[in-house]
């Protein structure tokens, strides 16, 4: 346990995620969905890291939703 706690944050997070997954009793379809989301999250994080995409403030998103959807 002490060895694991001494690892860098990213490695500890990976170990924690795998431990949690090992306790999960989900069916194979859910596992496939979870894997797809993990890939998508990695893709989005990489896009943010490289600057190929940006973020939008929640207030702006909410206003856009209200304009595009709720006020039609």
The burial of 30, by beta-carbon neighbours within 10 Å (0-12 exposed, 13-18 middle, 19 or more buried), is given as exposed
65/60 Cα distance (integer angstroms): 9
* CA–CA dist 65, 72 (Å, integer): 10
Q: Where are the alpha helices (DSSP H) in the chain?
A: 2-5, 9-23, 28-50, 58-65
Supply the pLDDT for residue 20: 84
User: For residue 51, what pLDDT band results from cuts at 50, 70 and 90?
Assistant: very high
- The per-residue pLDDT for range 2-26, each reduced to its tens digit, is 998 999 999 999 999 888 888 766 6
Each domain of the chain, given as residue ranges in start order, spans 2-70
Q: What is the pLDDT of residue 28?
A: 62
């Amino acid at each position: 346990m002490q060895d694991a706690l001494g690892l860098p944050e990213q490695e500890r997070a990976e170990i924690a995620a795998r431990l949690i997954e090992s306790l999960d009793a989900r069916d194979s379809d859910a596992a496939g969905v979870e894997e797809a989301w993990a890939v998508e999250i990695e893709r989005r994080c990489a896009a943010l890291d490289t600057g190929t995409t940006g973020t939008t403030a929640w207030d702006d998103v909410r206003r856009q939703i209200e304009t595009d959807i709720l006020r039609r």
